[in-house]
Amino acid sequence: QAEPIRVVVTGAAGQIAYSLLYSIAKGDVFGKDQPIILVLLDIPPMLPVLDGVVMELQDCALPLLREVIPTDEVEVGFKDIDAAILVGSMPRKEGMERKDLLKANVAIFKTQGAALDKYAKKTVKQLSSNLQRIFREEKSKSFWYKGHHVSRQVLVVGNPANTNCLIASKSAPSIPKENFSCLTRLDHNRASSQVAIRCGVSSDKVKNVIIWGNHSSTQYPDVHHAKVDLHGAEMGVYEAVKDEAWLRGDFISTVQLRGAAVIKSRKLSSAMSAAKAICDHMRDIWFGTKEGEFISMGVYAAGNSYGVPEDLIYSFPVQIKNKTWKIVDGLPINDFSRAKMDATAAELVEERDTALDFLSQ
Ligand code: NAI
């Protein structure tokens, strides 16, 4: 059997982690044959809670779970990790503005980015050229090369996710920017599900919805390029739904405001669905997206073909192969979409500039 991979989840005593850890530990994300060492990072007052989580994970008796390491130290938390899922931050409570969270979170993600930079495994790209040559020669037979040194993926979930991801990446200059992404898969799943419910089909019959921009209420859920399999006939969503007013109105606002609606109702932010989306996101990074399909994730905007400002983590349609994502280029964008893509970009630029001010203080 393969060597275990080391996965750290921050905010491990929180409510998202409570759903997420079980799914990871039973093989939903990294595969049913991949043993796992789970590292649980949280802040000191939460250590007693983490002990309970460790006990429960042990009590699940999961064969893939080789070790669980609870810690409140970033040096331990990020040491030699293959994948980091950064969930821990201060969650937004009802009525709380996103900006209120920004300052505290810049401090958290600066520290964690710097710790990733220092303690996480180095990728092949940063090893000496001699070692790189040896790894290339060994490539086909060595799990070590394939499984460990080329991975070191960092997924940021804690809000404001896009900007936290940018700050973490800027604070970890030795890790390639391509290894950082932020979660907009929950919004993507919400959009797919809304269309599926409207069409009376299961959610797997809807593909290629897009979330553009920020994981906030300015995000733009776009179905111009999405397809529905309507009882065996594949067609565009506009054609299937036959209700442009809904698609341009309530559909968009429902997806944009879904997080707030869940908070209003549950008095807690989305957790089960967030954990599911994290699994979808990471699994697609590990195993790739399906042929002919794309998913949404927040990635570096550098080199995009949509005129989005470069120094942002912006949600795009992406395809993934060999743990490498690529923005889907060249989709036609109409004026309606353009305005919404620009509005969410403007919000991200403002958020970034405020965050960079905090970062330099
Ligand atoms: P929670 O409050 O239940 O758990 C957060 C945990 O993070 C707590 O245990 C807390 O002690 C810990 N934490 C705080 N600072 C930390 C630090 N510096 N290092 C390690 N751990 C730290 O919150 P919940 O519901 O699990 O949500 C976590 C985050 O995910 C929130 O920021 C929330 O807004 C965000 N979120 C993002 C979504 C997305 O789609 N991007 C969707 C849903 C939630």
- Each residue's pLDDT, cut to its tens digit, for the chain (361 residues) gives 789 999 999 999 999 999 999 999 999 999 999 999 999 999 999 999 999 999 999 999 999 999 999 999 999 999 999 999 999 997 666 666 767 778 889 999 999 999 999 998 755 444 455 555 555 554 443 333 333 344 589 999 999 999 999 999 999 998 999 999 999 999 999 999 999 999 999 999 999 999 999 999 999 999 999 999 998 999 999 999 999 999 999 999 999 999 999 999 999 989 999 999 999 999 999 999 999 999 999 999 999 999 999 999 999 999 999 999 999 999 999 999 999 999 999 999 999 999 999 998 8
Residue 190 is assigned to a ligand binding site? yes
| CA-based torsion, 24, 26, 28, 33: positive or negative | positive
Q: What is the pLDDT of residue 137?
A: 53
Q: Is the CB of 115 under 6 A from ligand 1?
A: no
CA 278 to chain centroid, in Å, comes to: 6
Q: Work out which ligand 1 atom sits closest to the CA atom of 183.
A: 41
Cα torsion 106, 111, 116, 117 to 10°: value is 100
Q: Work out which ligand 1 atom sits closest to the CA atom of 11.
A: 7
Q: Report the nearest-CA residue for atom 42 of ligand 1.
A: 274
Question: What is the value of pTM for the model shown?
Answer: 0.92
Q: What is the pLDDT of residue 122?
A: 58
Assigned token pair, 287:
């195993």
Q: Is 148 a catalytic residue?
A: no
Q: What is the pLDDT of residue 129?
A: 54
Q: What is the pLDDT of residue 94?
A: 63
| CA-based torsion, 203, 19, 300, 325: positive or negative | negative
Q: Is the CB of 162 under 6 A from ligand 1?
A: no
In testing the pocket of ligand 1, which one of 42, 72, 299 has its CB within 8 Å of the most ligand atoms? 42
Residue 8 is assigned to a ligand binding site? no
Q: Report the nearest-CA residue for atom 22 of ligand 1.
A: 88
Residue 42 is assigned to a ligand binding site? yes
For residue 139, the number of C-alpha atoms closer than 13 Å in the C-beta half-sphere is 6
Residue 73 CA, ligand 1 centroid: distance in Å: 17
In testing the pocket of ligand 1, which one of 54, 94, 157 has its CB within 8 Å of the most ligand atoms? 157
ipTM over 0.85: yes
Q: Report the nearest-CA residue for atom 4 of ligand 1.
A: 14
Provide the strand spans (E) within the chain: 5-10, 36-41, 65-71, 83-86, 153-156, 180-182, 206-207, 210-212, 220-222, 227-230, 233-236, 295-300, 313-321, 324-327
Q: What is the pLDDT of residue 170?
A: 97
Residue 66 is assigned to a ligand binding site? no
Give the C-alpha separation, 252 to 19, whole Å: 27
Q: Report the nearest-CA residue for atom 3 of ligand 1.
A: 14
Q: What is the pLDDT of residue 114?
A: 95
Residue 136 is assigned to a ligand binding site? no
CB-based contact 147:336 (threshold 8 Å): no
Q: Is the CB of 270 under 6 A from ligand 1?
A: yes
Category of 288 on φ-ψ map: left (φ > 0), alpha (ψ -120 to 50) or beta:
left
- Identified catalytic residue from 148, 215, 225, 281: 215
> Which of 202, 203, 201, 181 has the alpha carbon at shortest distance from 191?
203
